[in-house]
A and B are shown apart, each in its own frame.
Chain A
């Protein structure tokens, strides 16, 4: 099993008055090459889960295994966890610090002991995967770049570690629509080419619907739903009940169904939704108050 999370539990401030159970018996499995999205409102346990996946926190109970390495085992060396799991934090562009783009991307692999030609190759490959040209941009200061480009450099820095699992925490926050679309395409391409497991944490349900093979929904420290985007987003009422939402297309269809239409709520593609709506509406136009023949 590529990524297996089993009965993971974590309690903050154990034994103190403000004791909080942040994770309660969370279990799920992600197959190799799958794209998982994690959604949940602030305080749902999402961040605590991420910190476990990245080996920053140890659970009270349960385990996380990736490609046979038990990262929750205290005996597993930290460097092994760093090598296998790449985490791109929120607003990662604030963490760029080297003088040139290439040096910044090289920082991680260098720490793994990679040097010379192998290092250059990794750096160039990582930059190209994010859509940046190492020849024109490699020697520039990261601070000369645009916001969207800086974010790609930060992602390249994580990619250069060749992680088995890449986690992106709100990668499109604060980007304009075009930069957002471009970055999502880049993430999709990286996922396809590297064939690794990608985890996207997002508040944007449209991004989740577009990118993910599977969606994990967190609420009050529990994994309350796990399934394909279609399965998860067809449970709109429950999602709203826990402070989340549905993609725009789903919201439209649900609104129409409340007014008496019977459209399939699992449609996520805009064109498919348009076809379904047009088919449902088509027979009626320009026939106001049509006197349909009653059956029976």
Chain B
């Protein structure tokens, strides 16, 4: 079966409008994302992560190569809206994504634009708000909400479109610790409900929650594997401007102190469990 997202030999060149100079942001990238998966995308600033996301969401078109979403070519204008509906996007700063002043109006914005019946819209809004645990806030003004709550409303806006895939572009970068915990919890739940999740992040701890990690550098994918496979290569990650999660680093230090911890520990929970076998 074909992957839900298929990227073939993708190239994207930015053109500086003043100098006419071209910069290659995506360089012959190939990847497939299967339906129902949870993929984290890592890479240093400028490695091409956000550009890739924008190409999947048809905010930019390939210079060469192709992006297929659910069998539809992003270069085919006929499919633009269908693709955006199938694959929604959540950005770093919710303030740039929210369009109304009242929570439920904002979540209804997408379905309204699809020309749905009011009863159907109401039902979708209610379900989407429940999915992000914000049902109580439906009549609230957006400016009264915290950053984490606003981000949950932005996610509800995406969920109300009944997407099969949601692309999260650094959704927690601006949030306080509680906001981060809440948003990650929601991403995990949406994934468990069958939505394909793609999470672009600079936090290794967040990437450790995914079932697959893609590491980008210079516009292409340079590492592809499970969190265990990726995070057992600390030197390689450092050379790519990244690091390992705390649990991986602490496990290595503890092994150096003579503790025979098993390989493949990537989360604090796994490390705690490993240490408690001796308790």
Contact = CB atoms under 8 A, between A and B. Distances in A.
A224 interface: no
Given A42-B147, A281-B275, A284-B278, A178 B178 contact: no
B176 A42 contact: yes
A259 B249 contact: no
Interface stretch (B28-36, B51-59, B115-123, B250-258): B250-258
- Listed residue (A176, A245, A249) with the most chain B CB atoms within 10 angstroms of its CB: A176
Interface residues of B, number: 44
A203 B175 contact: yes
A176 B44 contact: yes
B262 interface: no
Given A147-B46, A252-B247, A277-B254, A179 B241 contact: yes
Contact of B257 (A146, A255, A259, A274): A274
Contacts of B260: 285-286
B136 interface: no
Contacts of A227: none
Contacts of A146: 45-46
Interface in B155-178: 170, 173-178
Interface of A: 40-43, 90, 146-148, 170, 173-181, 203, 205, 243-245, 248-249, 251-252, 255-256, 259-261, 270-271, 273-275, 277-278, 281-282, 284-286
Contacts of A284: 278-279
A259 B269 CA distance: 12
Contact of B271 (A90, A252, A261): A252
Given A41-B176, A174-B173, A281 B250 contact: no
Contacts of B181: 245
Nearest to A141: B18
Contacts of A174: 45, 92, 170, 173-174, 202
B146 interface: yes
Interface string B232-262: 0000001001110011011001101111100
- Listed residue (A146, A148, A255, A284) with the most chain B CB atoms within 10 angstroms of its CB: A255
B204 interface: yes
14 contacts: A41-B177, A41-B178, A42-B146, A176-B202, A178-B241, A179-B241, A248-B268, A252-B250, A252-B271, A259-B272, A259-B276, A261-B275, A274-B256, A285-B260
Contacts of A274: 250, 253-254, 256-257
Contacts, number: 123
Nearest to B274: A281
B250 A249 contact: yes
B111 interface: no
A9 to B, nearest CB: 22
A83 B257 CA distance: 51
A40 B176 CA distance: 8
Nearest to A148: B45
Contacts of B43: 176
A179 B268 contact: no
A41 B275 CA distance: 32
Contacts of B258: 278, 282
The 7 closest A-B pairs by CB, nearest first: A278-B257, A245-B177, A243-B178, A274-B253, A248-B246, A178-B241, A42-B146
Contacts of A286: 260
A252 B279 CA distance: 15
- Listed residue (B147, B238, B243, B278) with the most chain A CB atoms within 10 angstroms of its CB: B278
Contacts of A176: 43-45, 202, 241-242
